[in-house]
Structure 1
Amino acid sequence: MYAIVDIETTGGKYNEEGVTEIAIYKFDGHKVVDQFISLVNPEKPIQPFVVNLTGINNEMLRNAPKFYEVAKRIVEITTDCTIVAHNAKFDYRIMRLEFRRLGYEYQRQSLCTVELSKKLIPNMPSYSLGKLVKSLGIPLTDRHRASGDALATVKLFKLLLQKDSKKEIITTSVKSNPKTNLDTKLVRIIDELPSSTGVYYIHNEKGEVIYIGKSKNIKKRINQHFTSDNHKSKKIQNEVYTVTFENTGNELLALLKENEEIKKNKPKYNRALKRDIFTYALYQSKDKHGYIQFKIGKADPEKENITTFTNSAQAKSTLQRILDDFELCQKKLGLHQTRGSCFNYSIKKCHGACIAEESAEDYNKRAQQVINKYSYTNKNMLIIDRGRDVDEKSVILIEDGKFCGIGYFNLNHQMDDIAIVKNIITPMKNNRDSQHIIQSYLRKNKPFRIIEF
Structure 2
Amino acid sequence: MMYTIIDVETTGKGNRITEISIFKYNGETVVDEFTSLVNPESFIPAHITALTGIDNDLLKDAPTFAEIAESVLNITEDAIFVAHNVNFDYNMIRGEFKRIGMDFNRKKLCTVRLSRTLLPGHRSYSLGKLCNALHIDLVDRHRARGDAEATVILFKLLVSQPESDEVFKKFLNKNSREATLPPNLPKAVFEALPNAPGIYYFKNKKGKVIYVGKAIDIKKRVLSHFYSKTKKALNMVRETGHIDFEVSGSELVALLMEDAAIKHHFPIYNKVAKRTIQSFALFSYEDRNGILHLATNKGRLVSNPLMVFFSVRDARLYLEQMCADFNLCPKYCHLQEAVSECSHFSIKDCNGICKNEEPIERYNDRVLEAINSILEQKDDVILKEKGRHIDEEAFIMIKNGDYLGYGFIEKETTITHVDELEHYLIPQKNNMEVQRILRQRVLTYLAAVKKPKTNSEKGEKLSG
TM-score after normalising by structure 1: 0.50
Determine which structure has more spread, i.e. the larger CA radius of gyration: 2
